[in-house]
């Protein structure tokens, strides 16, 4: 067992590595009613093409998410119900690069942890249960298809990326999930749900040794090499086109503006890139930027306006999103602000303030067990220690961020995706 | 551990301090409590947004942002909440706990003072709230009211309540109506602002690690300018024990959507004469509020009728709402099946497993909520509205003590009032 303390944020993490290669982290927290367990695999909606026995296999869109739904089925019934009946609040999610199963409970934690580790590692699917799930997920897909934010987001992804699977919905389409069979699910489970490809993080007032022991007892000990996957190679930096539009039942246009950036796959550089990228978008149009204040005062942007940076599945991108009557004006203003900052117009004092505010936000996120566990597991999969994020933040310089903007946010490489109201609905 | 103390800072200003050292941040909310009315809802909702734009000392968003960034990204957000037929408006602030500041600074007093400055000394022009801010935030508010339709799931619930409670204050949206919002001028809002400051009850909540005496003096200082009022406004919620119409009312709306939405509203009836909140919570968990509930296991899992089918209770008003997403062709089946599941509970068809699972779900959810600063604040807030004070441990033991007969009684007391269907448009429409 290893123990690591982080002075700046006053956290203590105990860790151990099982024979199968899987790390188990225990983030010790006291004074809380709940204990939280997060069991994740380095497998998400974008992992559609991978090597199996020397051959490349293509799977339909939506398998990782489908698998997430079906994993709760056990030979004896349903783990979701079993955990809930035991006082746990279980749930799961699938993103482009991670699938995670988690619960929080205020009693019987070890019993619940056993259930979690078992149902995620032992698959049980039947032809009938797969068919039935196609109905439920089909409804979920239809529901998200009515969500304008979702439409604006995937609209942007399709502009920024030519072949990377992040351009397709994590849940797939009603058509693509119809191709999924119990065999597809068993295969993907075997490849991606081996503990060698997974991580367990527990947060709460628990005895770390008990957790390590439990994980050792329940999970298989064989180690396999991590699956090789293909996201379709490097993407061009220029977007497919600079603009896409779609009409939906909305009150005002909803838009997302963004550009892709070079993405190191793993390691401390990845965390540094995420930190720099996020400071860069804030410097351009964050909630403390002169551009945001000016556009807000004019009524062009509203308080829901967001400036962010993401990296996942081999790609990285900046994104500015909001709603309002003049999306193209926002697009032009962002491009102009980028040009101004690259031209020496960036404000160093503002940059220092943004860093300070981000430090506070980072501390705030450490209240949340969900965010602690997600970040810790995500950091492991991406090859960095997530708890060093505040140290990285404090070390980033103004010049580094401006260089990043110059390199990765060239106005000609940005694109805008807009969801517009259907005709006749605006005033 | 958690220790809750209340202070009457003045006859109309009360502070509730929930002290805990488990968080890295503290939060502070200042709330004006007033009655929810169609006439004033939009004005109330607009007010904190206008006040957040600038103060006499920090006249614009930029100068406020400089301060909040320097306070390590302290957040101060305008809030509006609807609790039964009360509308609660003000600010919610959260900020790093002093213990975690790198340079041994203390920011609690500075954040509290800034919230007080926003509430009491806004930027004015000729004695009125600045019309530039009023106009701009009024436009934003109207946009937000209209944007309700973008989220179909919550829109369906709003549409149900708007129709079902059209003759009651509860039918008013917490943001108010578009028509009323459009009519607000800087003058009208200023008059309303002064009246609200003169009459509303002020409830302040703090959750964090600061010593309560210190919080009390910070709040007393920050709100010293609050006008002295002998007796603040008393407002409450009118609870209808039975639906106003003899027949179930059905409302249909056609929108361009691919998935239908069904929302059903019921009155909790005579159980609201002496509400047992723990029994209400356990009933809801058994009916549709948890993944072991009848709605989840039968309507969604067994029959695959819906992507989601869940229930919730607004305990201050005594309303039970079922919300679901359904294929248009399955509307009738889903509607009948949802009511059949309620009938099952009425007739006592609740297994040991269902009953115990519901209790566990309630206890876990309530305790786990207190592990989030916002959840802790909301729990204190709800207890204030309901006029109850339970420690978390007390609530857990009350939930444990709920009997099967009590939840069957809740089900039997519930009366169907209205249903709302969101249908799709055909190509011709």
For residue A254, what is the nearest residue in chain B, using CA coordinates?
Answer: B150
Reported as a single tens digit per residue, the pLDDT across B250-295 is 999 999 888 899 999 999 999 999 999 999 999 999 999 998 999 9
Across the interface, whether the CB atoms of B24 and A33 are under 8 A apart is answered no
For residue A131, what is the nearest residue in chain B, using CA coordinates?
Answer: B304
| B117 and B257 part of one domain | no
Q: What does the alpha-carbon distance between residue B326 and residue B306 come to, in Å, rounded to a whole number?
A: 5
| B115 and B198 part of one domain | yes
pLDDT of residue B307 exceeding 90, the answer is no
Question: Would you state the structure tokens that stand for residue B232, as one six-digit string?
Answer: 């603040």
Q: Which domain holds residue B191?
A: 3-222
Nearest CA to A141 out of A164, A169, A182, A167 is that of A169
Residues B344, B294 contacting (CB under 8 angstroms):
yes
| B218 and B255 part of one domain | no
Domain contains B238: no
Reported as a single tens digit per residue, the pLDDT across B83-97 is 999 999 999 999 999
Mean pLDDT of B223-247: 87
Which of B50, B72, B155, B208 to probe by mutation at the A interface, max A CB count within 10 Å? B72
Across the interface, whether the CB atoms of A89 and B364 are under 8 A apart is answered yes
| B263 and B189 part of one domain | no
| B203 and B253 part of one domain | no
Q: What one-character DSSP code corresponds to residue B211?
A: -
Q: What does the alpha-carbon distance between residue B203 and residue B10 come to, in Å, rounded to a whole number?
A: 11
| B195 and B312 part of one domain | no
Which pLDDT belongs to residue B150?
83
Structural class in CATH, domain A243-421: alpha beta
Question: Measured between CB atoms, does B275 come within 8 Å of chain A?
Answer: no
Say which residue the tokens 């609690």 belong to: B108
Question: Measured between CB atoms, does A186 come within 8 Å of chain B?
Answer: no
Which residues lie below 8 Å from residue B183, measured CB to CB, with a gap of 6+?
A: none
Nearest CA to A392 out of A284, A265, A276 is that of A276
Question: Measured between CB atoms, does B349 come within 8 Å of chain A?
Answer: no
Strands (E), A290-340: 306-312, 315-323
Which pLDDT belongs to residue B429?
42
Residues A27, A148 contacting (CB under 8 angstroms):
no
Question: Would you state the structure tokens that stand for residue B391, as one six-digit string?
Answer: 């420690």
Beta pairing class for A415-421 and B124-125: unpaired
Interface of B with A in 118-147 (CB under 8 A): 136, 139-140, 143-144, 146-147
Nearest CA to A319 out of A85, A109, A160, A141 is that of A160
Count: domains in chain B: 2
Element at B357 (helix H, strand E): helix B352-369
Q: What does the alpha-carbon distance between residue A415 and residue A258 come to, in Å, rounded to a whole number?
A: 6
Question: Would you state the structure tokens that stand for residue B71, as one six-digit string?
Answer: 């306070």
A302 contacts in chain B (CB < 8 Å) = 140, 143-144
Which pLDDT belongs to residue A91?
93
Which pLDDT belongs to residue B428?
45
ipTM reported for the complex, 2 dp = 0.88
| B340 and B287 part of one domain | yes
Domain contains B10: yes
Residues A139, B325 contacting (CB under 8 angstroms):
yes
CATH 3.30.830.10 assigned to A2-218: yes
Reported as a single tens digit per residue, the pLDDT across A247-257 is 998 889 999 99
For residue B425, what is the nearest residue in chain A, using CA coordinates?
Answer: A249
For the CA atoms of A187, A188, A194, A200, the dihedral, rounded to the nearest 10 degrees, stands at -150
Q: How many angstroms away from the CA of B325 is the closest CA of chain A?
A: 8
Phi, psi of B406 (to 5 degrees): -65, -40
| B201 and B152 part of one domain | yes
Q: What is the DSSP string of B104-136?
A: ----HHHHHHHHHHHHHSB-EETTEE-HHHHHH
Residues B172, B31 contacting (CB under 8 angstroms):
no
Reported as a single tens digit per residue, the pLDDT across B363-407 is 999 899 999 999 999 999 999 998 888 888 888 889 999 999 999
Phi, psi of B102 (to 5 degrees): -65, -30
| B377 and B305 part of one domain | yes
Question: Would you state the structure tokens that stand for residue B329, as one six-digit string?
Answer: 């062709």
Which pLDDT belongs to residue A206?
95
pLDDT of residue B301 exceeding 80, the answer is no
Q: What does the alpha-carbon distance between residue A351 and residue A130 come to, in Å, rounded to a whole number?
A: 52
| B41 and B184 part of one domain | yes
Task: Give chain B's count of helices (H) and strands (E).
Answer: 15, 13
Across the interface, whether the CB atoms of A84 and B143 are under 8 A apart is answered no
Across the interface, whether the CB atoms of A251 and B370 are under 8 A apart is answered no
Say which residue the tokens 């069979």 belong to: A181
Element at A71 (helix H, strand E): helix A63-71
Mean pLDDT of B330-352: 96
Q: Which of B25, B153, B363 sits opposite A87 (nearest CB)?
A: B363
Q: Where are the domains of chain A?
A: 2-218, 243-421
Q: Is B370 exposed, middle or buried (0-12, 13-18, 19+ CB in 10 A)?
A: buried
Interface of A with B in 321-340 (CB under 8 A): 323-324
Alpha-helix runs per DSSP H in A193-259: 208-218
Q: Which CATH number is B84's domain given?
A: 3.30.830.10
Say which residue the tokens 């339909």 belong to: A60
Interface of A with B in 7-66 (CB under 8 A): 8-10, 29-34
Q: What does the alpha-carbon distance between residue B335 and residue B345 come to, in Å, rounded to a whole number?
A: 16
Residues B256, A422 contacting (CB under 8 angstroms):
yes
For residue A360, what is the nearest residue in chain B, using CA coordinates?
Answer: B72
B370 contacts in chain A (CB < 8 Å) = 33
Q: How far, in whole angstroms, is CA A144 from its chain's centroid? A: 17
Q: How many angstroms away from the CA of B159 is the closest CA of chain A?
A: 16
Q: What does the alpha-carbon distance between residue B96 and residue B117 come to, in Å, rounded to a whole number?
A: 20
Element at B16 (helix H, strand E): strand B13-19
Question: Measured between CB atoms, does A296 come within 8 Å of chain B?
Answer: yes
Domain contains B204: yes
| B218 and B254 part of one domain | no
Q: Which of B1, B61, B373 sits opposite A293 (nearest CB)?
A: B61
Residues B27, B206 contacting (CB under 8 angstroms):
yes
Q: Residue A43 pairs with which residues in a beta bridge?
A: none
Question: Would you state the structure tokens that stand for residue B101, as one six-digit string?
Answer: 């500041």
Across the interface, whether the CB atoms of A136 and B300 are under 8 A apart is answered yes
Reported as a single tens digit per residue, the pLDDT across B125-156 is 999 999 999 999 999 999 999 988 888 999 99
Q: What does the alpha-carbon distance between residue A43 and residue B89 come to, in Å, rounded to a whole number?
A: 44
Which pLDDT belongs to residue B427?
52
CB neighbours of residue A43 within 10 Å: 26
Across the interface, whether the CB atoms of B257 and A249 are under 8 A apart is answered yes
Residues A153, A248 contacting (CB under 8 angstroms):
no
Mean pLDDT of B65-90: 97
Q: Is B371 helix (H, G, I), strand (E, B) or coil?
A: coil
Residues of chain A with pLDDT under 50: 425-427
Across the interface, whether the CB atoms of B69 and A356 are under 8 A apart is answered yes
Q: Which of A33, A80, A293 sits opposite B368 (nearest CB)?
A: A33
Q: What does the alpha-carbon distance between residue B47 and residue B52 come to, in Å, rounded to a whole number?
A: 9
Question: Would you state the structure tokens that stand for residue B247, as one six-digit string?
Answer: 């027949």
Q: Is B226 helix (H, G, I), strand (E, B) or coil?
A: coil
Q: Helices A63-71 and A127-145: crossing angle, nearest 10°?
A: 120
Half-sphere exposure of A371 (CA within 13 A, CB side): 10
Q: What does the alpha-carbon distance between residue A382 and residue A66 come to, in Å, rounded to a whole number?
A: 24
Residues B323, B400 contacting (CB under 8 angstroms):
no
CA-angle at A136, arms to B345 and A230, nearest 5°: 145
Domain contains B78: yes
Which pLDDT belongs to residue A87?
87
Mean pLDDT of B10-31: 95
Q: What does the alpha-carbon distance between residue B292 and residue B311 come to, in Å, rounded to a whole number?
A: 12
| B170 and B278 part of one domain | no
Q: What does the alpha-carbon distance between residue A129 and residue A39 come to, in Å, rounded to a whole number?
A: 24
Which residues lie below 8 Å from residue A34, measured CB to CB, with a gap of 6+?
A: A104, A105, A106, A204, A369, B364, B367, B368, B371
A2-218 and A243-421 in the same fold: yes
Q: Is A420 helix (H, G, I), strand (E, B) or coil?
A: strand
Catalytic residues of A: 68
């Amino acid at each position: 067992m290893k123990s690591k303390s982080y002075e700046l944020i006053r956290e203590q993490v105990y860790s151990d590595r099982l024979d199968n290669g899987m790390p188990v982290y225990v983030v010790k927290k006291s004074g809380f009613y709940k204990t939280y367990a997060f069991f994740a695999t380095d497998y998400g909606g974008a992992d559609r093409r991978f090597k199996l026995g020397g051959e490349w296999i293509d799977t339909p869109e939506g398998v990782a998410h489908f698998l997430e739904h079906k994993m709760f089925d056990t030979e004896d019934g349903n783990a979701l119900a079993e955990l809930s009946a035991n006082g746990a609040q279980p749930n799961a999610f699938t993103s482009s690069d991670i699938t995670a199963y988690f619960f929080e409970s205020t009693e019987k934690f070890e019993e619940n942890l056993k259930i979690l580790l078992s149902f995620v590692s032992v698959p049980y699917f039947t032809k009938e249960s797969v068919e039935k799930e196609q109905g439920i997920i089909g409804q979920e897909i239809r529901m998200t298809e009515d969500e304008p934010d979702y439409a604006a987001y995937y609209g942007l992804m399709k502009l920024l990326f030519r072949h990377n699977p992040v351009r397709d919905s994590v849940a797939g389409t009603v058509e693509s999930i119809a191709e999924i069979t119990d065999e597809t699910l068993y295969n993907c489970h075997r490849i991606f749900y081996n503990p060698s490809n997974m991580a367990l993080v527990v947060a709460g007032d628990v005895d770390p040794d008990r957790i390590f022991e439990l994980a050792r007892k329940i999970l298989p000990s064989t180690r396999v090499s991590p699956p090789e996957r293909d996201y379709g190679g490097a993407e061009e930096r220029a977007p497919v086109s600079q603009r896409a539009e779609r009409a939906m039942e909305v009150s005002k246009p909803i838009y997302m503006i963004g550009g892709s950036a070079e993405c190191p796959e793993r390691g401390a550089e990845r965390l540094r890139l995420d930190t720099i990228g996020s400071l860069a978008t804030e410097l351009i149009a964050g909630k403390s930027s002169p551009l945001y204040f000016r556009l807000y005062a004019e009524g062009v942007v509203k308080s829901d306006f967001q400036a962010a940076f993401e990296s996942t599945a081999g790609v990285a991108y900046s994104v500015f999103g909001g709603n309002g009557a003049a999306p193209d004006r926002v697009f032009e203003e962002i491009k102009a602000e980028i040009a101004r900052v690259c031209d020496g117009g960036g404000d160093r004092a503002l940059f220092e303030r943004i860093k300070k505010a981000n430090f506070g936000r980072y501390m705030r996120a450490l209240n949340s067990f969900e965010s602690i566990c997600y970040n810790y597991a995500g950091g492991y999969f991406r090859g960095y220690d997530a708890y060093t994020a505040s140290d990285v933040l404090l070390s980033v310089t103004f010049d580094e961020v401006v260089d990043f903007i110059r390199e990765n946010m060239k106005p000609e490489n940005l694109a805008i995706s807009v969801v517009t109201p259907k005709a006749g609905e605006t005033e | 551990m958690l220790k809750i103390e209340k202070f009457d800072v003045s006859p109309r200003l009360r502070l509730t301090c929930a002290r805990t050292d488990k968080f890295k941040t503290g939060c502070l909310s200042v709330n004006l409590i007033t009655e929810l009315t169609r006439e004033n809802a939009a004005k109330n909702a607009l007010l904190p947004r206008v006040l957040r734009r600038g103060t006499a000392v920090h006249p614009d968003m930029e100068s406020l942002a400089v301060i909040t960034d320097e306070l390590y990204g302290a957040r101060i957000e305008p809030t509006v909440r609807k609790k039964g037929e009360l509308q609660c408006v003000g600010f919610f602030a959260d900020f790093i706990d002093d213990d975690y500041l790198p340079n041994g600074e203390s920011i609690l007093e500075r954040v509290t003072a800034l919230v007080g400055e926003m509430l009491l000394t806004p930027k004015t022009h000729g004695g009125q709230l600045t019309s530039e801010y009023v106009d701009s935030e009024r436009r934003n508010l109207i946009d937000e009211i209209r944007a309700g339709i973008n989220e179909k799931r919550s829109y369906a619930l709003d549409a149900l309540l708007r129709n079902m409670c059209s003759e009651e204050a509860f039918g008013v949206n917490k943001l108010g109506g578009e028509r009323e919002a459009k009519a607000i001028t800087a003058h009208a809002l200023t008059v309303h602002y002064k009246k609200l400051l003169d009459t509303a009850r002020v409830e302040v909540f703090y959750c964090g690690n600061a010593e309560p005496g210190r919080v009390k003096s910070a709040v007393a200082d920050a709100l010293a300018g609050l006008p002295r009022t002998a007796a603040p406004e008393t407002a409450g919620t009118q609870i209808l024990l039975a639906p106003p119409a003899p027949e179930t009312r059905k409302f249909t709306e056609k929108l361009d959507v691919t998935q239908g939405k069904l929302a059903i509203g019921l009155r909790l009836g005579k159980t609201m004469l002496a509400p047992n909140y723990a029994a209400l919570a356990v009933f809801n968990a058994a009916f549709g509020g948890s993944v072991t509930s009848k709605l989840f296991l039968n309507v969604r899992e067994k029959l695959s009728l819906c992507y989601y089918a869940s229930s919730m209770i607004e305990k201050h008003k005594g309303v039970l709402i079922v919300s679901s997403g359904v294929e248009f062709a399955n509307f009738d089946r889903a509607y009948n099946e949802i009511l059949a599941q309620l009938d099952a509970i009425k007739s006592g068809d609740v297994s040991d497993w269902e009953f115990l699972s519901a209790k566990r779900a309630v206890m876990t959810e309530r305790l786990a909520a207190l592990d989030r600063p916002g959840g802790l604040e909301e729990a204190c807030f709800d207890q204030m509205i309901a006029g109850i004070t339970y420690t978390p441990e007390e609530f857990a033991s009350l939930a444990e003590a709920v009997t099967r007969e009590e939840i069957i009684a809740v089900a039997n007391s519930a009366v169907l009032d209205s249903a709302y269907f969101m249908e799709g448009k055909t190509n011709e429409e």
